[in-house]
Structure 1
Amino acid sequence: MNDKPTLYTSLSPALIHLYDLQDTVVVIIDVFRATSTIAAALHNGAGSVIPVDSVSEAIKISKEVGGIAAGERDGKLAEGLSHGNSPMEYKREFIEDKVLVLTTTNGTRLLHMALELGADDIVTGSFPNLSSVCNYLLQQKKNTVLACAGWKDKFNLEDTLFAGAVINRIKDHFSIHCDSSFMAEYMYTHNKADLLSFAKNLTHYHRLVNRFGYIDDIAFCLEEDSADVLPLYKDGHLVAG
């Protein structure tokens, strides 16, 4: 009898409805850059991060809580906001003890989709907080869905690579019969020696680096455990768990 919890990888928000999220840990993954930025902000002492799905909501809530309204649309600073979705913006001297109200094209939207589908145990994951995510999943011993944010419902590889990194570390403790998980781990193990070089092939790399010059962001987003904190969703806020 196999009493291990299950693990699945959803490769796109368009597929998340196919998975049972009840009594399941859902890991929201948006490596370039939302979940890396969330890890950076909390690691540098932010009181919390409030993920919202629209710019107007970010502005409204930030005024109510005295927080920082931030985010992007299509990779660039969203109109009406003074701070973007770069992990490099949220140094300790700027963000400590403040509330970051964040809206992004993919990651914060996926988190709200997971909530609507009944998820009640949500964390966010990226290479900068890989160990914290893996440790949490091992402690919880619950069914798990690794939910990749992709790009506007399309598949992207960097989120899948992170799912593969998680699977590579914890697979002995889960029952995994899932081709997307198998593919994710295969991609990660074959490229983990130099993720940054491999990333130069990726669509989102070209969007962020060639158009906007965010090479420092990309390097940070692919560095394992550089902001190793567990962003845990509670009562509308992501807090350091």
Structure 2
Amino acid sequence: MTAENKPRLEVCLSPALLHLFDVKNSIVVIIDVLRATSTICTALYNGAAKIIPVASVEECVSIGKQLNAITAGERDGKIAAGLEHGNSPFEYPREFIEDKVLVLTTTNGTKLLHMAKDAIQIITGSFPNLDAVCEYLVSQGQNVILGCAAWKDRVNMEDTLFAGAVVSRIKEHFDVNCDSAIAAENLYDSGKADLFEFIKKASHFQRLAKFGLEEDIRYCLTPNGANVLPILRNGELVVG
């Protein structure tokens, strides 16, 4: 298959850049490694019935009451005031989350998810479900935008690293004519031998480490610990 016949694979490094991409004709992968999309796949892997991503804390509380659901989320790395639970994947073991509904709001990830609403399909990706994401994207044969949630619109290292890991694994099936995709893959190649050590320079590592969350970070950088595909259907994330 020539490059002309292959679907495009592009990386959007920040929500602030999403308007430059053809969202309507692409599958968009929402990437918020530390920690929203790692927590989403973990909760679904552990049997959550569904996850409802919402933009605001107020909406999270309101929907949680209506559905008698678990309300969770963070602002700037800490549990948001008014919510029951935070954004750590370790808060959602099977014995707690199985068959329950989780309403989730986060600083960056849920915002990008709502911005990408016109996409052909929205899925979420992180290292714990790396293989599931890659297999799905190859199977679909559609244009792909790897959308990094970033940090308050500023490019971040961890989401770029995951985008690079995906590019590295599936690029032969796609036309990759995108400098940000090439840069992401190069970053991943630089750090893949020890992602945890590599990411210690990153601002969000330092932000979370201050709260003693190094084990969260290590989990969020480890491939395939929760290898399911969260897919957005009717505003709800379910196992695809």
Match of 2:215 in 1: 216
Match of 1:35 in 2: 37
Report deviation, 1:22.
Answer: 1.2
Q: Which residue of 1 aligns with 2:89?
A: 87
Written as runs of structure 1 = structure 2, the 5 A alignment for 1:17-166 is 17-115=19-117, 118-166=118-166
Structure 2: where are the runs of 5+ without partners?
A: none
Q: Distance in 2 between matches of 1:39 and 1:221?
A: 10
Give the corresponding residue for 1:236. Answer: 235
The residue identity in structure 2 corresponding to 1:101 is: V
Deviation at 1:82, TM superposition (A): 1.3
Task: Please list every run of 5 or more consecutive structure 1 residues that lacks an aligned counterpart in the other structure.
Answer: none
CA distance in 2, matches of 1:99, 1:23: 30
- State the distance in 2 between where 1:174 and 1:167 align: 9
Distance in 1 between residues matched to 2:143 and 2:233, nearest whole Å: 19
TM, length-normalised to structure 1: 0.97
Percentage identity across paired residues of the two chains: 59
SS at match of 2:122: strand
CA distance in 2, matches of 1:200, 1:82: 29
Deviations 1:57-93 (A, max 9, x none): 0011111112101000011010001100001100000
How far 1:235 moved relative to its partner? 0.4
Secondary structure, aligned partner of 2:139: helix
Q: Measure the CA separation in 1 of the matches of 2:69 and 2:142.
A: 34
CA distance in 2, matches of 1:149, 1:128: 17
1:194-205 matched pairs, under 5 angstroms: 194-205=194-205
- Residue type of the partner of 2:5? D
Runs of 4+ in 1 over 4 A off after TM superposition: none
Report the Cα distance in structure 1 between the residues aligned to 2:76 and 2:24, rounded to whole angstroms. 31
Code of the aligned partner of 2:220 = C
Contact 1:23 1:121 in 2 (8 A): no
Aligned residues: 238
TM-score by length of 2: 0.98
Letter of the aligned partner of 1:7 in structure 2? L
What amino acid sits opposite 1:86 in the alignment? S
* Structural RMSD (CA): 0.7
Residue type of the alignment partner of 1:188: Y
Q: Give 1:4 deviation, angstroms.
A: 0.2
Provide the residue aligned with 1:181 in structure 2. 181
After superposition, the C-alpha distances for 1:14-41 in whole angstroms (9 at most, x for unaligned) are 0011101113100000000000000110
Q: Using the alignment, how far apart are the partners of 2:67 and 2:169 within structure 1?
A: 38
